[in-house]
Chains A and B, each alone.
Chain A
């Protein structure tokens, strides 16, 4: 006698998980799918986050009005400033919080974002799908050098924590230990992993990668093993000294300094603490927007959506977060391109033009630059 049991927790394999953990870059980039995912997420957060429910009510928003993908622009979005007020915005119980995540602000204006386990797992899912833009690798085919600390040492530095999570996916060596970064040791590790694994990846803030190249040059290191190395940057391009690294100069310096075979081996990643999706570049160095994430470019003065392809304030509707409403207006100006990408992957790509000018800009990469590099006097 068979006793076939229907699974009682069907809803745990949520529609959003079928997208986030599916073959992300093979599925259609369908606005109708995003409409459904965002609608579910908005319903959840209105039901479980009183602050967001009040915010939505004040805006006169009703989920019933979400009938068409064009309606997504009407979903109330929180300014990232809302996460800096010291009053948690949460859609889950405190005991469900797996990680309190803070931005790197040093003058009392840190964002605080509370993530439960599904929210972090989905963030990690976006990292995995981003890596798929680089290569389709098994976990024993890749060695990673992270120019940051491990999880326990990452503390509240958001990008350091996100970068440290790569060790859940691939064998990883962390180059920052006890708050110290030794470029010589990091270079030796990169060299060793390039010789040991079919694929090796160096991840870190652009400033640290840049300085590592300079160190290799000064020491006249043998870079013959590094030609296949992938370099993934994250955290932003501004240094603690205030200078902004030029991407083209960075590409040339890293390409030559490490002897990389091709500039397509250099990829940048984008995330901010309030956003639950990490976006990585393809070989054409364009940041691909995964199919679950709605990106709306808005006029910075009216907050109305701009014409397709026009530049404006970047805002997001991210349905992957369950512990907080990840419907945010960010701090960056840029554009979304719906056209085909030279890399061959379909879907939208996002280009960041610049940060919104603020009195205080302490990005995560700036803090790591200040703490760990020579120019930042971190040593």
Chain B
């Protein structure tokens, strides 16, 4: 049995990094073994309940345009890293991206990287940019600025209104059939400064790099007016790009996604000093059609407990 034809894939090299508490975070690197000049390094941060392989298309676009790309599955999340999404916290996502950022800077011996961050992960990247150097820009895709607003729509009730002390040990919230234990999540949400939009405003005010947020006008999970308001508090290096008729789940519309991938790539190139209006190398459909199943197969082959099953 075969998986994808591998004639046109960019191969993954994988490793792990460790968090301070010892948990392992699975990391993928794609791109040339030795970066070409000018050195362009990007970290692609998947959204909530999404894995590294779900970002195959944007990672491939970036590689085809000269980037070395790092990705990780977050701790206490879906994917290859330690921990289960039952114990999900936004803080664990932040910790994972922090560890990946350190790893990328050290491994590539570079001064800074570009972040491409989807949805909820964008919020943690705003914090990273507020607290750390070594980030030349953040291009957010449907980036969340008000986690309480978004998660109220995701979970279909205002979870943020409940104090953790009111939440029982066995209570959980569900997303796409996956359960998350409510109280630890809620505690970290509040104590970590992720709950209120004012914290986002502070982080963005402190962030020392350009931040662009590509937002869909048909996104029910993000209030684009609120994004505009929050981004207006920053300087001119904050930018909101509106995408008419685009919903939160961008992969649902691959024709629109192609345009947005191109613009995200252009944005990332500009963060690394490329001239305005730089020509973008368009990744062919056949390349994406090979890369996506290749990455799924690679992931499956690295899930130790699944090794007895047929190769996918």
Do the beta carbons of A21 and B4 come within 8 Å of each other? no
Do the beta carbons of A21 and B252 come within 8 Å of each other? yes
Of A121, A149, A150, A168, the most chain B CB neighbours within 10 A belong to A168
| Segment of B28-36, B144-152, B191-199, B287-295 in the binding face | B287-295
Do the beta carbons of A2 and B284 come within 8 Å of each other? no
Bound: A188/B300 CA distance, A:
18
In the complex, chain A residues 103-131 whose Cβ is within 8 Å of any chain B Cβ: 117-118, 120-122, 124-125
Do the beta carbons of A192 and B293 come within 8 Å of each other? no
Assess A185 versus B1: contact at CB under 8 Å? Given A4-B228, A118-B255, A173-B312: yes
Bound: A121/B310 CA distance, A:
28
Do the beta carbons of A13 and B228 come within 8 Å of each other? no
Closest-CB distance, A192 to chain B (whole angstroms): 5
In the complex, whether A177 has a CB less than 8 A from a CB of chain B is yes
In the complex, chain A residues 1-41 whose Cβ is within 8 Å of any chain B Cβ: 1-7, 9-10, 12-14, 17-18, 21
Q: Mark A170-204, 1 if CB is under 8 A from B, else 0.
A: 01111101000000010011001100100000000
> Of A6, A121, A150, A153, which contacts B242 at CB under 8 A?
A6
> Of A122, A151, A189, which contacts B1 at CB under 8 A?
A189
* Residues of A contacting B256 in the complex (Cβ-Cβ under 8 angstroms): 12-13, 17, 21
* Residues of A contacting B78 in the complex (Cβ-Cβ under 8 angstroms): 140
Assess A121 versus B255: contact at CB under 8 Å? Given A18-B245, A150-B3, A171-B296: yes
* Residues of B contacting A174 in the complex (Cβ-Cβ under 8 angstroms): 1-3
Do the beta carbons of B239 and A5 come within 8 Å of each other? yes
Bound: A173/B2 CA distance, A:
6
* Residues of B contacting A189 in the complex (Cβ-Cβ under 8 angstroms): 1, 310
Number of interface residues, chain B, beta carbon within 8 A: 45
Q: Mark A251-274, 1 if CB is under 8 A from B, else 0.
A: 000000000000000000000000
In the complex, whether B179 has a CB less than 8 A from a CB of chain A is no
Q: Mark B224-237, 1 if CB is under 8 A from A, else 0.
A: 00001001100110
Assess A150 versus B2: contact at CB under 8 Å? Given A124-B254, A172-B293: yes
Bound: A175/B1 CA distance, A:
6
Closest-CB distance, A21 to chain B (whole angstroms): 4
> Of A5, A121, A143, A192, which contacts B241 at CB under 8 A?
A5
In the complex, whether A301 has a CB less than 8 A from a CB of chain B is no
Closest-CB distance, B25 to chain A (whole angstroms): 20
Bound: A284/B239 CA distance, A:
50
In the complex, whether B177 has a CB less than 8 A from a CB of chain A is yes
Closest-CB distance, A309 to chain B (whole angstroms): 35
> Of A17, A118, A177, A192, which contacts B310 at CB under 8 A?
A192
> Of A3, A13, A120, A165, which contacts B244 at CB under 8 A?
A13
* Residues of B contacting A13 in the complex (Cβ-Cβ under 8 angstroms): 243-246, 253, 255-256, 259
Bound: A185/B311 CA distance, A:
12
Of A12, A149, A171, the most chain B CB neighbours within 10 A belong to A12
Q: Mark A142-164, 1 if CB is under 8 A from B, else 0.
A: 01000001111100000000000
Of A5, A124, A165, A175, the most chain B CB neighbours within 10 A belong to A5
Assess A173 versus B244: contact at CB under 8 Å? Given A121-B255, A152-B5, A189-B1: no
> Of B1, B7, B176, B258, which contacts A177 at CB under 8 A?
B1
Do the beta carbons of A141 and B289 come within 8 Å of each other? no
* Residues of A contacting B239 in the complex (Cβ-Cβ under 8 angstroms): 3-5
Do the beta carbons of B255 and A122 come within 8 Å of each other? yes
Bound: A21/B238 CA distance, A:
31
In the complex, chain B residues 122-146 whose Cβ is within 8 Å of any chain A Cβ: none
Residue of B nearest to A118 (CB): B255
In the complex, whether A361 has a CB less than 8 A from a CB of chain B is no
**Which 9 pairs from chain A and chain B are nearest by CB?**
A152-B5, A2-B232, A21-B253, A98-B285, A12-B259, A167-B293, A13-B245, A121-B254, A117-B285
| Extra 20 A-B pairs, beta carbons < 8 Å, given A13-B245, A17-B255, A196-B306 | A4-B228, A7-B243, A9-B259, A13-B259, A99-B286, A141-B177, A150-B2, A152-B4, A152-B7, A153-B5, A167-B293, A172-B3, A173-B1, A173-B3, A173-B311, A174-B1, A177-B1, A185-B1, A188-B310, A192-B310
Chain A: residues with CB nearer than 8 A to chain B?
Answer: 1-7, 9-10, 12-14, 17-18, 21, 98-99, 117-118, 120-122, 124-125, 138, 140-141, 143, 149-153, 165, 167-168, 171-175, 177, 185, 188-189, 192-193, 196
9 intermolecular pairs with C-beta atoms under 8 Å apart: A2-B240, A5-B242, A7-B244, A9-B259, A12-B256, A13-B253, A121-B258, A171-B300, A196-B306
